[in-house]
Structure 1
Amino acid sequence: MSTSVSTTPTGSLAAPGTTEHLLDELAQLETRIDDDALEAARVLAEDFLGVAVAGSQNAEGRIVHEYAVAMGAPGQSGVPGRRGTFDAGTAALVTGTSGYSIGLTDTHAMSITHPGASIVSAALAVAQATGASGDAFLRAVVLGCEAVVRIGAVVNPSHRARGFHPTATCNVFGVVIAAGHLRGLDREQLADALGIAGSMSGGLYEFRHEGSMLMAFHGGWPARSGITAVELASRGFTGPHTVLEGPEGFFRGFSDDIHPELLAVNLDRPGILEIGLRPYNACRYGHAGIDAFRIITDRHGAISPDDIASLVVFTHKTAVDQETEPTSVVGARLSTKFTVAYAVAHGPKVSEVTPTTSSTRSSPR
């Protein structure tokens, strides 16, 4: 089975900022993936799968696994932390939801996305289902992450400001690229699958106010949806090849301020090298404040919360706009004020933020 992303015929490269041009550049990137990119993909995959094992044991992971078992979807794809195998789409749904549930997944700054939650989950599931090699799996992760961070960069920060959750909306396109690579889709089929995925893209940030379990689902659902789009396209189902740039496409439908030039792929430095791994299970907006406090204590010794009158964290506008008084576990993880205060009270480390710790433990003023 072929595992190549096909190029257009020589001399027919599409205009920059379009779906077809993105496919052209991803095809070029595929031939230039080097050892640094493959190593970054390996580290990302190992990190996420470890997080997914932990997440499989919490409420979100348990519920979505119970759903998968009840649906009875047999296949060859396993789920980290759980027994049994499922079809690829179902396995990716469970893995992605579990892994995205504890606030420790990877992060990409410019696109405001967490690609690994969906890309690694989908690539693992499809690789198991197709018997793909480890090298093919890692290459699929590189290509899938590239699509996510490039598309997210085009629509953000306006996209996020409108109430969308970029991980939920952008990841599905990257899953199409990763899963399509492993399934051996040709160029036409990939374009169709991206077009189909555009109508599967969605996800609102309202979960930070109420119904916070939904955030975890935003890691798993794009994984399942992207695989579904690939399977449909592989059987001849069509979708618009202008899904990104079209007059009623993703860019214009989901953002008030788009930057099509950012869709361009840097062939010498793929996006996976821009993805960071979180050292704290908190929104990345709070990490600089946590690190700053750690540096202070490293230099001057432990500081008792009782000796702190107030803390001021300097950050960017998106972080300030996101700040609200947390009313849930997810809200606490997304709050810079809470996560920095928690680090002051309990130490700058990975801590299990649970309903008990987020509601009953006091924090500095």
Structure 2
Amino acid sequence: MNRSLEFLNMIDGVWKAEIPEEVMARAKRSLLDYLAVTCAGAKFQKEKLEKYWEFAQPEEGKFRVIGTGKDLVLKEAVFLNGLNGHALDFDDGTNSGIIHLGSPIFSLLLPLAQRYGKTIDEVLKAAIVGYEASYTMAVSIQPGHKAMGYHATGTCGTLGATLVASYMLRFSPEERFQAFASACVAASGMLKVLDDGSELKPYNVAKTALLSLTALQLAKSGFKGHADPLGGRGFFRMMTGKEDIELKPVLLNGTYAIMKSYTKPYASCRYTHPAVEAAIHMREYVKPEDVEEIDIKTYDLAVSGHDHTDIPGSYSAKMSIPYATAAGLMFGKAGLQEFTEEMVVDKSILELTKKVKVEADEALSAVFPGIQAAIVTIRTKDGEYTERVDFPKGEPENPLTEDEFRTRYDGLMEYAGVPSTVSGELFDTVYRENAKAEELVRNI
């Protein structure tokens, strides 16, 4: 059996199906979230971006680098949108696929939509199918893929972004297959970017979007790939060490992948969120200054790379369950301000961070990914307190309300320095019939 055709035929079926209204509505929220997160990411990385402009001297063009007000050539816009879209690790994703879905897809689709005059609805349909493609591949090869050290956002995300861009641009079936074959060759993503203060996690998203664009260009140029790039010694074997991979069905458990995605209320890695939320709840009866020890039990995949108490900088803090939990307990929130470079050197929060110990729990590991739980136990001189969180805020099982989402959106745009009139108009544009993607990005 040709594994590649098996996968591509499933995705083709999703593309040809009518998208339900509630799924399209969810996609509009995902797009707005991406725009806000990317604008904020550009502000967060402002100093690094200025050094990038100085050294790279990117060529001016027609395609908006979201959040910067700059128009550059297509490849630069695609790359930098990806870099900024994941800079804060605040973008959406799914736990079962262990993958960020929207940032590489929208980073590629929006500049291409500018170039080819596509509407926002055309972008949204492509994104919905892209989420499905990236997620289906990820959930089929996880968790072994992560255990080997791969970041599925970089690997599976390259396949999904390439495929849906080829659909949005109306590639022929042959061109679409060859673009996919090229994407299979290019796909890469290293999880070691989480470790020891590395700041390169956003690079995985940036190069994912750029490699997807390159795959499209190779296909249009007539380059041909292997007849089955997934099978044999192809993608599956490279990414898992095995060839006999069982592809999960599309619309797994009867829902679209985009409906399975979370929206983060906390500005840290999703693995930190159950413990953060538990700590926020416990502020009602625990004072940070009274804490002697905090023990956290969670599922095993959340521990490695996320249990560190040495915090060399903001990126490290975002990956640390101890730091994020300490922030939740100390401030009652874990937003952008709690992870600034100034905050992560504050003596009081670092002292509290050192009191946190994270361990894998066999029972919690057994129920993952159906439940992504943490049990937080805080010991003080006056007693011991415990709280468990199974589905933190922002998960599909516990989604943000419309008001909560709008507050998050407005807050990110305010942080980015986008005037409220502009961010409000942008919000409305996503819901306006037949609006072009060009209108959406022009003022940010």
With normalisation by structure 1, the TM-score equals 0.88
Q: Could you tell me how far 1:356 is from its partner in structure 2?
A: 2.9
1:249 aligns with 2:221: no
AA at the equivalent of 2:214: T
More strand per residue: 1 or 2? Answer: 2
**Among 143, 152, 156, the residue aligned to 1:157:** 143
1:251-270 mapped onto 2 (5 Å cutoff): 251-256=236-241, 260-266=245-251, 268-270=254-256
Q: 1:65 to 1:78 in 2, by over 3 A?
A: farther
* 1:52-95 per-position Cα deviation (integer Å, ceiling 9, x unaligned): 10111233761586279713162x32122122323333212111
Q: 1:80 to 1:88 in 2, by over 3 A?
A: same
Distance 2:51 2:106 in 1: 18
* 1:99-123 per-position Cα deviation (integer Å, ceiling 9, x unaligned): 1001211121111110111011111
Cross-structure match for 1:348: 333
Cross-structure match for 2:59: 72
1:81-230 mapped onto 2 (5 Å cutoff): 81-210=67-196, 212-230=198-216
**Among 54, 62, 73, the residue aligned to 2:49:** 62
Of the structure 1 ranges 82-91 and 156-165, higher mean CA displacement relative to structure 2 is found in 82-91
List structure 1 runs of 4+ shifted beyond 6 angstroms. none
AA at the equivalent of 2:53: E
Distance 1:259 1:151 in 2: 14
Distance 1:316 1:64 in 2: 40
Cross-structure match for 2:308: 324
Between the two proteins, the alignment pairs up a number of residues equal to 345
- Are the counterparts in 2 of residues 115 and 167 from structure 1 also a CA contact under 8 Å? yes
Distance 2:271 2:70 in 1: 37
* 1:141-180 per-position Cα deviation (integer Å, ceiling 9, x unaligned): 0111111111111221111112222212221111102211
AA at the equivalent of 1:149: Y
Unaligned regions of 5+ residues in structure 2, if any? 356-444
Distance 1:303 1:228 in 2: 53
Q: 1:215 to 1:51 in 2, by over 3 A?
A: same
Cross-structure match for 1:284: 270
Cross-structure match for 1:8: none
Distance 1:171 1:64 in 2: 28
1:321 aligns to what SS in structure 2? coil
1:85 aligns to what SS in structure 2? strand
- Are the counterparts in 1 of residues 197 and 312 from structure 2 also a CA contact under 8 Å? no
Distance 2:317 2:65 in 1: 28
Distance 1:113 1:162 in 2: 15
2:95 aligns to what SS in structure 1? coil
- Are the counterparts in 1 of residues 178 and 223 from structure 2 also a CA contact under 8 Å? yes
Q: 1:345 to 1:294 in 2, by over 3 A?
A: closer
RMSD between aligned residues = 2.2
**Among 293, 311, 320, the residue aligned to 2:294:** 311
- Are the counterparts in 1 of residues 275 and 325 from structure 2 also a CA contact under 8 Å? yes
2:94 aligns to what SS in structure 1? coil
2:12 aligns to what SS in structure 1? helix
- Are the counterparts in 1 of residues 27 and 128 from structure 2 also a CA contact under 8 Å? yes
- Are the counterparts in 2 of residues 22 and 263 from structure 1 also a CA contact under 8 Å? no
Distance 1:259 1:111 in 2: 18
* 1:295-315 per-position Cα deviation (integer Å, ceiling 9, x unaligned): 334xxx363201222222221
Of the structure 1 ranges 94-103 and 24-33, higher mean CA displacement relative to structure 2 is found in 24-33
Unaligned regions of 5+ residues in structure 1, if any? 1-13
Q: 1:294 to 1:241 in 2, by over 3 A?
A: farther
Q: Could you tell me how far 1:210 is from its partner in structure 2?
A: 4.3
Cross-structure match for 1:234: 220
AA at the equivalent of 1:46: L
Cross-structure match for 2:380: none
1:314 aligns to what SS in structure 2? strand
Q: 1:151 to 1:100 in 2, by over 3 A?
A: same
Distance 2:54 2:35 in 1: 20
